Chain A
Amino acid sequence: MTFTVSDLTVQYGETVVIRRLDFVVAPGEIVALLGASGSGKSSIVRALCGLQPATGAIAWNGNDLARLPTHRRGIGLMFQDQALFGHLDVAGNVAFGLKMHVLGAHERKIQVAQLLATVGLEGFEARAIATLSGGEQQRVALARALAPVPDVLLLDEPFGALDRTLRERLLIEVGELLRRNGVTTVIVTHDHDEAFSLADRVAVLHDGQIEQMATPTTLWQQPKSVAVCEQLGFVEAVDGEVQRTPGGSEVITPWGVLPHQSAMTNGPVRVVLRPDALAADEQGALQVDIQRVRPHANQFQATVQLGTGPRLMMPVPASTRPGDTLRCSVRPDAVLCYLVGTSLPPAFKPPASENDQ
């Protein structure tokens, strides 16, 4: 009962948007495809549904879906802009898929009521789509996509247009809903927070291919390349030089000489600092200039200048003020080095994780 995509290629004329994509989704698993805007994410979704010409194999439980027309594939899709039918009310939208599956009017009514209750919209049956708020429309779209009980549910940037508070609430609710119902799901997004919150595994897209597919934890700890780091929102890469020292290894960067866990030999590298690299530490070897302080989540975060490198972020005590200087230390495992001109992984090994591909 796995959803298997192999060799999927999408091209517009001569331009190849998606190149020989392979991935497998286990039953009940939630997989996120994470990619920048214009990376062809929506093309994948449309190709999987049969709305976009493509080559390759798409199979559910070993049965080839690629040969089937869209309406026989059993794949549900929640559209990026929801695409709710303006000429139908809420019940009409949710019941649409049920009606296509020749369900009687009475059963339809019961199921619509149940689905609306599931997404927290009890009694919304007769409401016109135009009268709904953004969040309500999102929920109706989800209920509509879930109604025909698809084998696989695709969510295309499901929370893109929502404000932050609503988005965070819906992320939790939708995640719970999908897991409770064991829905095999592929979610496509540009937002790593969204991918990490919802997915069991995340595939990072780069240049029309999967650059890395792993659990959120592994992806965070061991991003395979600079491109993956960029996609995860890490600070920009700088040039550096690895030096072996008697105690291990360090890397010379515009930020200064940073400790580094690696078996790399001496030579030039690209260096990325993970957001958790810096920590305020009175015994620390480095000194940062505080430029700006703001409350962030449950801590205070400062924009700091370290050496001559790009500005960094770090958690600071609440008493910190702009203009202060602060001593800090660097986590060696958060200093990520990549060989120049390749996407070779950092040469240190973090604790092994499961489900990695």
Chain B
Amino acid sequence: MDSRVEHDRQRVGAYLRPRIQASAVAIVAIALGYFFVWPLLAIIGKGLVPEGHLHLGVLLDVVRDNRLRHVIAFTTFQASVSALLVLVVGMPLAFVLERQRPHGAALVRTLVFIPFALPTVVVGAAFAAWFGGNGPGASLHLMHTTTIIVIAHVYFNIAVVVRIVGSRWRLVDPNVHAAARVLGANRVRAFVHSTLPALAPAIVGATAIVWLFCVTSFGVIVTLGGGSKATLETEIFRLTTQELDLRRAGALLVVQLVAVAATLVVAARIQRIHALTSIHASMAAPPAGGSGLRRAVRAILLATVGVVMLLPIAIIVQRAIADGGAGFGFLRDDSVLGWRPIDSVATSLQTAAWSTGFALTFGVVASVAVVRRWPGARIVSLMSALPLGISAVSIGFGFLIALDRPIDLRQSWVLVPIAQATVALPFVLRTVIPVLQSIQPAWRDAAAVLGASPTRVVRSIDVAIASSAIATAAAFAFVISLGEFGATSFLARAATPTMPIAIVRLLGRPGTLPVEGAYALATVMIGLIAAVATLMGLATRRTRVGLR
């Protein structure tokens, strides 16, 4: 036997043949193309090419239309005020939570993230419970005002600033500030000239994201604006569902798309400029000490933030169980509405389960493709990041006008879970990709040397490590799907609404019983989300133990 052997190049490291990789990427790309890019193109077509030829005059009509001009102005105004306030409140909080890290910071940080897990309509319902009808804050007459919308937006988005600015703040080299002080700068000047430039990219990024969230906010406006406050999103919804004016709705969406794209580009440009001047961290600051007074101020601030974050949940549960639990009783009653609100729980669970399945399947394949640089992965990566910049309402609207070819999916049950999956997909990618990237190629080699076959390598390294991230992504996708309101409101069928749709419908009914039913349903949602969070925690802990 000839002892010279050409070792099998394919066997070394490559677990999937390029053809299978290309097919997987192609399937994901086609699905994303059909369910995302195609509806988006259809919207633009509807707005700019109404009768088969390009007609930019539609955009001029939008600007000339008094009502639409007002809608655009209000949308921009409320989003800008909200973003500014989020920054004003969020920056000190980020400083205390991430830079000073006093006792209790971890708990408060968790509480700050509660709104992120809550569906917009639940938060809307909570604010309605607090400030509307016979709520404790009713005397302030805040319902249906810009103020309450802005407050709700601040409540929602404070986590964005704490997360993005805080995580950067934590890494800014404390010696840079110290150097500025030693060189003669007072606290303020030292902050402005040393710390602030380092934070600038994070501040710009966070502000842009918050501004976009507020521009595309839908659930909050619907539940708290009371019909008198119209933003781009609610107006598109009204034009589509009530006036059936798809042309103007399309034109408005084009305006919104341009605004979103412009914001992202400008934010990216500013971030790039500032990134050059920023200081890259080498060490984290030590936790804060300080005088007794400072500690007391910090403790009071944290306690207040914690309580404020919990208040909406508390009021919803309180309103649901008040009146001897009449709200829960109402959920089983179909005599008022013609359908039993409690059935929306099953509908939501079922829809969210399907949506999670879709988002996970496509998200995991896309993540693997991106990380392993499969052929065509860049396109998939680009396409799956798009939904981040586009509102859920656009997705719902796009589905409605585009998905009648080649087969009419618009009457299919599958439409709602797919729309929700589209909204959840970017979160799946953002959760799974970093974890897959953290897997060192040497670990696979080490496993092979220790006797693991190629399939065993994938199982014991890639799957073992990614499984907790996939569990987290599943939980994210499930919670997002459960609370998804914008896209679903276009697509859900009247007789079988999901929970957020049912909550909004109940809130809009006259009388106290349906409203108490809405709070009861919101309580059920909070319970479900808490259960999912607990399960996620358990799953993450179990997979961490690994092979033991």
> Which A residues form the contact surface with B (CB < 8 A)?
6-7, 46-47, 49-57, 59, 64, 66-67, 69-72, 75-77, 79, 81, 83-89, 91-92, 95-97, 99-101, 144-145, 147-148
Query: In the complex, what's the smallest C-beta–C-beta distance from B331 to chain A, in angstroms?
Result: 43
A76 vs B545: C-alpha distance when bound (angstroms)? 25
- Judge whether B17 is part of the interface by a CB distance below 8 angstroms: no
A75 vs B448: C-alpha distance when bound (angstroms)? 10
On whether the beta carbons of B453 and A71 are closer than 8 Å, the reply is: yes
A53 vs B14: C-alpha distance when bound (angstroms)? 13
Instruction: Point out the residue from A53, A75, A91, A95 that lies within 8 Å of B12, measured CB to CB.
Output: A53
On whether the beta carbons of B451 and A100 are closer than 8 Å, the reply is: yes
CB-CB contacts below 8 Å: B493-515 with A: none
Q: List residues of chain B with CB within 8 A of the CB of A72.
A: 451
Q: List residues of chain A with CB within 8 A of the CB of B443.
A: 83, 85-86
A148 vs B449: C-alpha distance when bound (angstroms)? 10
Instruction: Point out the residue from A57, A88, A96 that lies within 8 Å of B4, measured CB to CB.
Output: A57
Looking at the complex, which of B128-136, B410-418, B460-468 is the stretch in contact with chain A? B460-468
- Judge whether B141 is part of the interface by a CB distance below 8 angstroms: no
Per-residue interface assignment for chain B, residues 9 to 31, with 1 indicating a CB less than 8 Å from any chain A CB and 0 otherwise: 10111000000000000000000
Instruction: Point out the residue from B6, B442, B546 that lies within 8 Å of A79, measured CB to CB.
Output: B442
On whether the beta carbons of A92 and B547 are closer than 8 Å, the reply is: yes
On whether the beta carbons of B449 and A77 are closer than 8 Å, the reply is: yes
On whether the beta carbons of A7 and B4 are closer than 8 Å, the reply is: yes
A67 vs B6: C-alpha distance when bound (angstroms)? 8
CB-CB contacts below 8 Å: B417-463 with A: 438, 440, 442-443, 445-454, 456, 460-461
A46 vs B448: C-alpha distance when bound (angstroms)? 11
- Judge whether B548 is part of the interface by a CB distance below 8 angstroms: yes
Q: List residues of chain A with CB within 8 A of the CB of B449.
A: 49, 51, 70-71, 75-77, 145
Nearest chain B residue, comparing its CB with the CB of A141: B446
A99 vs B544: C-alpha distance when bound (angstroms)? 17
On whether the beta carbons of A71 and B464 are closer than 8 Å, the reply is: no
On whether the beta carbons of A79 and B547 are closer than 8 Å, the reply is: no
Lowest 4 CB-CB distances: which A-B pairs, in order? A100-B451, A57-B3, A97-B450, A83-B442
On whether the beta carbons of B446 and A64 are closer than 8 Å, the reply is: no
A59 vs B440: C-alpha distance when bound (angstroms)? 30
A66 vs B7: C-alpha distance when bound (angstroms)? 7
Q: List residues of chain B with CB within 8 A of the CB of A79.
A: 442, 445-446
> Which B residues form the contact surface with A (CB < 8 A)?
1, 3-9, 11-13, 438, 440, 442-443, 445-454, 456, 460-461, 464-465, 543-548
Instruction: Point out the residue from A64, A67, A92 that lies within 8 Å of B546, measured CB to CB.
Output: A92
Q: A70-B445, A87-B465 are in contact. List 14 more A-B contacts (CB 8 A).
A: A46-B445, A51-B445, A55-B4, A55-B5, A55-B7, A57-B4, A64-B3, A69-B8, A71-B450, A76-B449, A77-B445, A88-B547, A91-B548, A145-B450
A81 vs B446: C-alpha distance when bound (angstroms)? 11
Q: List residues of chain B with CB within 8 A of the CB of A88.
A: 464, 546-548
Query: In the complex, what's the smallest C-beta–C-beta distance from B453 to chain A, in angstroms?
Result: 5
Query: In the complex, what's the smallest C-beta–C-beta distance from A46 to chain B, in angstroms?
Result: 8
Q: List residues of chain A with CB within 8 A of the CB of B453.
A: 69, 71
Instruction: Point out the residue from B446, B448, B454 that lies within 8 Å of A85, measured CB to CB.
Output: B446
Q: List residues of chain B with CB within 8 A of the CB of A86.
A: 438, 440, 443, 465
Contacts A83-B446, A88-B546 given; indicate if A96 touches B460 (C-beta within 8 A): yes
Nearest chain A residue, comparing its CB with the CB of B460: A96
Q: What are 26 contact pairs spanning A and B, CB under 8 A?
A: A7-B3, A50-B7, A50-B12, A51-B13, A52-B7, A54-B7, A55-B4, A55-B6, A56-B5, A64-B3, A64-B5, A69-B454, A71-B448, A71-B451, A71-B454, A79-B446, A83-B442, A83-B445, A86-B465, A87-B464, A87-B546, A88-B464, A96-B447, A96-B460, A145-B450, A148-B451
Query: In the complex, what's the smallest C-beta–C-beta distance from A124 to chain B, in angstroms?
Result: 13
A95 vs B460: C-alpha distance when bound (angstroms)? 12
Q: List residues of chain A with CB within 8 A of the CB of B450.
A: 71, 76, 96-97, 100, 144-145, 147-148
On whether the beta carbons of A52 and B461 are closer than 8 Å, the reply is: no
Q: List residues of chain A with CB within 8 A of the CB of B447.
A: 85, 96, 100
Q: Which of B3, B7, B545 has the most CB of A within 10 A?
A: B7
Q: List residues of chain B with CB within 8 A of the CB of A96.
A: 447, 450, 452, 460, 547
Query: In the complex, what's the smallest C-beta–C-beta distance from B3 to chain A, in angstroms?
Result: 4
Query: In the complex, what's the smallest C-beta–C-beta distance from A160 to chain B, in angstroms?
Result: 14
A299 vs B107: C-alpha distance when bound (angstroms)? 60
Q: List residues of chain A with CB within 8 A of the CB of B464.
A: 87-88
On whether the beta carbons of A97 and B445 are closer than 8 Å, the reply is: no
On whether the beta carbons of A97 and B451 are closer than 8 Å, the reply is: yes
Query: In the complex, what's the smallest C-beta–C-beta distance from A5 to chain B, in angstroms?
Result: 11
Query: In the complex, what's the smallest C-beta–C-beta distance from A73 to chain B, in angstroms?
Result: 8
Instruction: Point out the residue from A51, A57, A148 that lies within 8 Å of B448, measured CB to CB.
Output: A51
Query: In the complex, what's the smallest C-beta–C-beta distance from A241 to chain B, in angstroms?
Result: 46
Contacts A53-B7, A67-B5, A96-B460 given; indicate if A83 touches B546 (C-beta within 8 A): no
Query: In the complex, what's the smallest C-beta–C-beta distance from A6 to chain B, in angstroms?
Result: 7
On whether the beta carbons of A51 and B12 are closer than 8 Å, the reply is: yes
On whether the beta carbons of A89 and B446 are closer than 8 Å, the reply is: no
A100 vs B440: C-alpha distance when bound (angstroms)? 20
A319 vs B284: C-alpha distance when bound (angstroms)? 49
A97 vs B457: C-alpha distance when bound (angstroms)? 11
A88 vs B12: C-alpha distance when bound (angstroms)? 24
A140 vs B12: C-alpha distance when bound (angstroms)? 26
A87 vs B467: C-alpha distance when bound (angstroms)? 11
Q: List residues of chain B with CB within 8 A of the CB of A100.
A: 447, 450-452, 456
A58 vs B491: C-alpha distance when bound (angstroms)? 65
Nearest chain B residue, comparing its CB with the CB of A112: B548
Nearest chain B residue, comparing its CB with the CB of A97: B450
Q: List residues of chain B with CB within 8 A of the CB of A75.
A: 449
Q: List residues of chain B with CB within 8 A of the CB of A53.
A: 6-7, 9, 12
Query: In the complex, what's the smallest C-beta–C-beta distance from B344 to chain A, in angstroms?
Result: 39
On whether the beta carbons of A64 and B1 are closer than 8 Å, the reply is: yes
Nearest chain B residue, comparing its CB with the CB of A50: B7
Q: Which of A67, A76, A85 has the most CB of B within 10 A?
A: A85
Q: List residues of chain A with CB within 8 A of the CB of B5.
A: 55-57, 64, 66-67
A304 vs B59: C-alpha distance when bound (angstroms)? 86
Instruction: Point out the residue from B1, B4, B546 that lies within 8 Å of A89, measured CB to CB.
Output: B546
Query: In the complex, what's the smallest C-beta–C-beta distance from A49 to chain B, in angstroms?
Result: 5
A69 vs B12: C-alpha distance when bound (angstroms)? 8
On whether the beta carbons of A89 and B548 are closer than 8 Å, the reply is: yes
A197 vs B443: C-alpha distance when bound (angstroms)? 29
Q: Which of B1, B3, B544 has the most CB of A within 10 A?
A: B3
Query: In the complex, what's the smallest C-beta–C-beta distance from A263 to chain B, in angstroms?
Result: 40
Q: List residues of chain A with CB within 8 A of the CB of B6.
A: 53, 55
On whether the beta carbons of B12 and A52 are closer than 8 Å, the reply is: yes
Q: List residues of chain B with CB within 8 A of the CB of A91.
A: 548
Nearest chain A residue, comparing its CB with the CB of B13: A51
A56 vs B450: C-alpha distance when bound (angstroms)? 23
Query: In the complex, what's the smallest C-beta–C-beta distance from A35 to chain B, in angstroms?
Result: 21
On whether the beta carbons of B1 and A87 are closer than 8 Å, the reply is: no
Query: In the complex, what's the smallest C-beta–C-beta distance from A152 to chain B, in angstroms?
Result: 11
Q: List residues of chain A with CB within 8 A of the CB of B545.
A: 89, 92
Query: In the complex, what's the smallest C-beta–C-beta distance from A211 to chain B, in angstroms?
Result: 23
Query: In the complex, what's the smallest C-beta–C-beta distance from A93 to chain B, in angstroms?
Result: 9
Contacts A67-B5, A148-B451 given; indicate if A77 touches B12 (C-beta within 8 A): no
Q: List residues of chain A with CB within 8 A of the CB of B454.
A: 69, 71
Q: List residues of chain A with CB within 8 A of the CB of B546.
A: 85, 87-89, 92
A57 vs B452: C-alpha distance when bound (angstroms)? 23
Nearest chain A residue, comparing its CB with the CB of B4: A55
Instruction: Point out the residue from B4, B12, B548 that lies within 8 Å of A56, measured CB to CB.
Output: B4
A47 vs B450: C-alpha distance when bound (angstroms)? 15
